[in-house]
C-alpha cells in the first residue's frame, strides 16, 4: 500500500525575498527527504506592519521573527524560514536553529542613483553600514529608508537619496543584476563588514525536531554563522547597533566601535569546535565592550 506523503507547514514572511527563500528551503528538503510535501504559510510580522518605524530607535530584536516563532510554538507550522541576520541571539524556549541553506556571497552592494559617483546623501537605517560608510564617504549625510528591495531601488532612481545599501545575496536571489536609473557597486568585506548571519537562510524549528531537518542543511554555513552568532551572544547586536562579524574563507572580520575594523585568520576546524572560546578570547584581546 502506498503511504501518503508527509506534509510540512512552512512559516515565512510575505516579502518577495522571504518567499524566494522559503521556495529554496522547500526545494532543499524535497530533494533530501523523499515522500514529503510542503505548504507555505505567509505571515506578517510586527516589523512588516510598522513600516515607518526606525529600527535603530525602536529596536529591531524579534520584530521580523516573533509571529513565525509563535506559529512553531503553537504547532501551526513545522519549521520557519528566516534571514539569519534577523534572528536574535536567544531562542524562545523550545525552539532551535536546525541549520542553514548554503550561504550566498555576504557582501553589501552600494546602489547609486545613475550619474552619481560620490554620494552626498545615503539612505540606510543600519548603524553598522552608516558608520563604516563614513570611512569611504566622510562628507555624506545619512537618512532612513524602509521597504522591500524593489521599493528601495525605486526610491533611489527617483532621487530620494543619492545611494542606499543592499545585501548582494538578496539581489541575487531575486534575480536583480541592475535596475533602471541606478548603478550597483559591490563593497568589499574589508570595506563594509556584513551583519552577523548576512546572506544565510536559517531554518528554525521545535528543538525536538532538529534531527529531522539538520541532515539536509549546509554544515560549512552552520560553522560560519555559529561563530558569528557566538560574538553576537556575548556582545549583543541587531539592527539597532553598529556591530558586525563575518567569517568567510577562513578569515574572521569584526567591526566594533571600540576597535574599528579588524581581521584574524581562523582555521575552520577551530571555528567548528570552539566558537565561544574564539569569541571570548578576541573580545578580551580587543577590549570590546557591549555593542
User: Any idea which residues carry the catalytic annotation?
Assistant: 86
DSSP string over 20-66: HHHHHHHHHHHHHSSSEEEEEEEE--HHHH-TT--HHHH--TTTTTH
Closest C-alpha among 291, 288, 205, 190 to residue 246:
190
Exposed / middle / buried, residue 180 (Cβ in 10 Å: 0-12, 13-18, 19+): exposed
Question: Look-up: residue for cell 525605486?
Answer: 154
Question: Look-up: residue for cell 516563532?
Answer: 69
**Using the 8-state DSSP alphabet, how is residue 4 labeled?**
P
Amino acid at each position: 500500500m502506498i503511504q501518503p506523503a508527509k506534509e510540512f507547514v512552512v512559516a515565512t514572511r510575505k516579502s518577495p525575498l522571504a518567499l524566494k527563500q522559503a521556495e529554496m528551503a522547500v526545494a532543499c528538503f524535497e530533494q533530501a527527504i523523499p515522500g514529503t510535501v510542503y505548504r507555505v504559510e505567509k505571515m506578517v510580522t510586527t516589523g512588516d506592519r510598522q513600516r515607518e518605524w526606525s529600527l535603530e530607535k525602536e529596536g529591531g530584536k524579534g520584530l521580523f521573527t516573533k509571529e513565525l516563532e509563535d506559529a512553531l510554538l503553537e504547532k501551526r507550522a513545522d519549521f520557519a524560514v528566516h534571514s539569519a541576520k534577523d534572528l536574535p541571539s536567544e531562542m524562545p524556549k523550545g525552539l532551535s536553529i536546525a541549520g542553514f541553506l548554503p550561504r550566498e556571497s555576504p557582501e553589501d552592494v552600494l546602489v547609486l542613483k545613475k550619474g552619481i559617483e560620490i554620494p552626498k546623501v545615503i539612505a540606510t537605517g543600519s548603524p553598522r553600514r552608516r558608520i563604516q560608510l563614513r570611512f569611504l564617504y566622510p562628507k555624506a549625510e545619512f537618512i532612513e529608508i524602509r521597504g522591500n528591495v524593489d521599493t528601495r531601488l525605486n526610491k533611489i532612481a527617483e532621487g530620494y537619496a543619492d545611494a542606499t545599501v543592499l545585501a548582494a545575496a538578496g539581489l541575487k536571489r531575486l534575480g536583480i543584476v541592475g535596475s533602471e536609473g541606478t548603478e550597483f557597486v559591490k563593497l568589499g568585506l574589508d570595506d563594509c563588514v556584513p551583519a552577523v548571519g548576512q546572506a544565510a537562510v536559517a531554518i528554525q524549528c521545535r528543538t525536538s525536531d532538529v534531527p529531522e531537518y539538520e541532515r539536509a542543511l549546509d554544515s560549512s554555513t552552520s560553522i560560519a554563522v555559529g561563530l558569528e552568532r557566538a560574538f553576537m551572544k556575548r556582545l549583543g547586536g541587531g539592527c539597532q547597533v553598529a556591530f558586525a562579524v563575518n567569517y568567510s574563507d577562513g578569515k574572521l572580520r569584526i567591526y566594533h566601535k571600540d576597535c574599528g575594523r579588524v581581521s584574524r585568520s581562523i582555521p575552520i576546524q577551530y571555528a567548528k569546535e570552539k566558537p565561544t572560546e574564539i569569541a571570548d578570547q578576541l573580545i578580551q584581546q580587543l577590549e570590546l565592550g557591549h555593542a
